[in-house]
Each structure stands twice: as structure tokens, then as C-alpha cells.
Amino acid sequence: MKKAVTIKSIAEQLGLSRNTVAKALNGQYVPEKTRERVLKKAQEMNYKALDLKRIEVGAAKYRILLVSGKPLNNISYFIPLIGGIESFCFQHNHELFQYIFNSSRMPFAALSGYIKELNADGIVAVECFDKSLILKLLNLGKPVVFNDFTHAEIVSDAKYDIISANDEQSIHRVVRLLRDEYRITRFTFVGDSKHCMSFHNRYMGMLLGLVSAKIAHSRTEDILCSDESFDYGSTDGMMSEILKLKYMPECFICGNDFIARTVCNALKLMGKHIPGDVLVVGFDNVADSYSLSPAISTFAVDKQFLGTETMRTLIHRIENSNIPPRNITVSAQFIRRQSTTR
């Protein structure tokens, strides 16, 4: 007489615990790959109690926590990004929670306690650039994907991923393009290069572009004020910084479109014509870049796709925890507008 197939026999065939197999067959949470293995083996062994319809209804899902280091006020940038994350979670039956962490007003224990109570399977970190916060998040032992990152070096054995635009290559290319097209040699970067990884890489992209074009450059020709002490939204403050420069730049490379808008407003107050006297380049392709006159040349990243890729990367990290850390870049497209077109 043929021996009946049991949960124990399926577990033995797969080298899994009986409890794990039972959860998979009862529609409870197990990693998706484990669930697929169990169902496939149960079908192969003709497990009589297999109820695919019931299992599908209770299909495995993950609890995802979106942590932001500050309120996501840049609506033009963050709405499509968060929309991509939300759509992915909805389509794949994952639960999504959000937590805004204020490091100056609350202890990290409040956040770690919430993560523990939530029993989060993975974390998406947005606008988390503080090195101390990043290390504490990594020490929780949870899979983490960072959307952008700190410029500082992180030494950790934790497994995590970073998603960002290809900032360095993008700025490198535009520096060479404008240099070759207009023969300009005086470039100035505007932005706190220590604010985050993307700003640092954009600054490095400009420097590398100048090196490859054999153009000498000094940091004194850049406006690199700390954003903790300088308001990059102040037109008067920006005009004051520009006037401190030894030479009037021929092209400003700005950390983002918000800064580019301030630079344009300051140049107008100084009586400078854009692009006749000076060129301006931003980054992110948000409303600030096309609402001005002249419209600002910038780099566009598909922000909804960025959100979707962030989630795909996190799910892969949850289900493959031993893979090494990865830095995944998404291409940015140069959107040329009036501010660089003579």
C-alpha cells in the first residue's frame, strides 16, 4: 500500500522544517521563493490536502516600513516616487507603513520599538542622510534599501542596497557637451556637496568633466556652503555668494532645480542674461525647472519607476539576504531648455 503524503514527508524532501511547510500550505507568511518550492513539491508528490485556491487567497506578503528622515515636502519629486512604492505594494499584496523620524526630537529607541512592534520585513529609507541614523538602521538586522544615501563612508557588515540616479556620469557628460559646444571654461558648482551622496556625485561629475576636458579648477570657484548654515532658497544670500567669486562663471552646475531657481533669480537681480551671459543647469526636472523664464535645463529621472525599482530591490533583498550590498543606478535624461541654449 502506497504511503500517504504528509507535511512531514514534504518537509523532508525539501530539507525544510515541518512548521515552514505547514505555513506555506496554510497560506501563512513565508518567503515567496520558499512558498513556491513547497507548492511545487506538494503537487509533485500529489499531496491530497492541497487547496491552491485557499493558499492563493492567503498568499504571502511582506510588511514594509517607509522611513523618512524629514517630511517629504518636495511634492513634485516625492509624489511620483512614493506613488511607485505604493503601487508596487498594492499590486503584490504587501502592507506599507510610514514613519517620519526626527532625530533632534526623539530617541532612536522610539523608531526601533515601532519596527519591532510592526514586525517589519524590510525598510525603505528616504531622505535618511545622517550617518548615525543609517548605522542604527543597519544594526537592526532588517533588509534595508536606501533611496539616495550619505556622502560619508559607512563601515558595516550589514546587507543593504542603495538606489540613485547616475548623477556623476550625467553631470560629466553635460560639462563636456557645453564645453565643446560653447568653448566655456569657467564652471561653478552650487550646493552642499556633503548634503548627500547624490550631491557629492554631481559635484564629482563636474570635476571629472573638467579634468577630462583639461580645464583647471579650484574649490574656491564653487559655492559649497553647508545647508545647515546657508539658505539655498535665499536670492539675496545667493547673490552675495556669487559676488564673492573671483570671476563670474560661464556656467553654474546646481545640486538640484530648487538651487538652480535661486541662482537664476540672483543672476537676474545682478543684471545678467540667461543664457546670453551665463548658463544654468539643474537636476531632478521638478516644477522649479520649467516654471521659470527662462526654463532651466535639467536631468529627468522617472521617479515612479525609481519607486518601483526601490521596492523590487527590497523584495529581492528580503528573499536573498546573503547577497552583498549593491549600489543600483537609474539613468537620467538631459532635458535641454532655454538656460543652456544660445
Host H or E run for residue 252:
strand 251-254
Domain co-membership, 309 together with 285:
no
Inform me whether the pLDDT recorded for 37 exceeds 50.
Answer: yes
Q: Do the Cβ atoms of 330 and 302 come closer than 8 Å?
A: yes
Residues 162, 310 within the same domain: yes
Whether residues 51 and 99 fall in one domain? no
Q: Quick one: pLDDT band at residue 186, thresholds 50, 70, 90?
A: very high
Distances (CA, A) of 295 to 31, 128, 249, 276: 48, 30, 19, 14
158, 173: one domain: no
- Whether residue 1 lies inside any domain: the answer is no
What's the CA gap between 283 and 297, in Å, rounded? 8
Domain membership of residue 53 as a residue range:
7-57
Rounded Cα–Cα distance for residues 271 and 277 (Å): 10
Please report whether residue 106 resides in a domain. Answer: yes
The three three-digit cell numbers of residue 19, written as one number? 512548521
- Does 203 share its domain with 292? yes
CATH number for 269: 3.40.50.2300
Kindly state whether residues 212 and 234 are assigned to the same domain.
yes
Distance between CA atoms of residues 97 and 85, nearest Å: 11
Look at the chain and count its residues: 342
133-147 confidence digits (pLDDT tens): 999 999 999 999 999
Q: pLDDT band at 58, cuts 50/70/90?
A: very low
- The answer to whether 322 touches 331, Cβ cutoff 8 Å, is no
Across the chain, what does the average pLDDT equal?
Answer: 91
Q: Would you say 253 and 339 are in contact if contact means Cβ atoms under 8 Å apart?
A: no
User: Residue 174: CB partners within 8 Å, gap ≥ 6?
Assistant: 209, 253, 281, 297, 299, 334
Confirm whether 256 is domain-assigned: yes
Number of domains in the chain: 3
DSSP secondary structure letters along 99-135: EE--TTTS-HHHHHHHHHHHT-SEEEEES---HHHHH
Does one domain contain both 201 and 283? yes
With 80 as the cut, is the pLDDT of residue 282 above it?
yes
* Model pTM above 0.85: no
- Residue 60 or 303, more confident: 303
Do 292 and 178 have their domain in common?
A: yes
Q: Do 211 and 234 belong to one domain? A: yes
Residue 49 shares a structural domain with residue 135: no
* Nearest in space to 85 (alpha carbons), one of 326, 331, 306: 306
How far does CA 204 lie from the centroid of its chain?
18
Do 104 and 79 sit in the same domain of this protein?
Answer: yes
Last residue of a domain, one of 19, 39, 57: 57
Residue 255 maps to a domain: yes
Tell whether 310 and 264 lie within a shared domain.
no
Burial of 229 by CB count in 10 Å (0-12 exposed, 13-18 middle, 19+ buried)? Answer: exposed
Report the pLDDT averaged over residues 220-239.
97
In a domain, 151, yes or no: yes
Binned at pLDDT 50, 70 and 90, residue 18 comes out as: confident
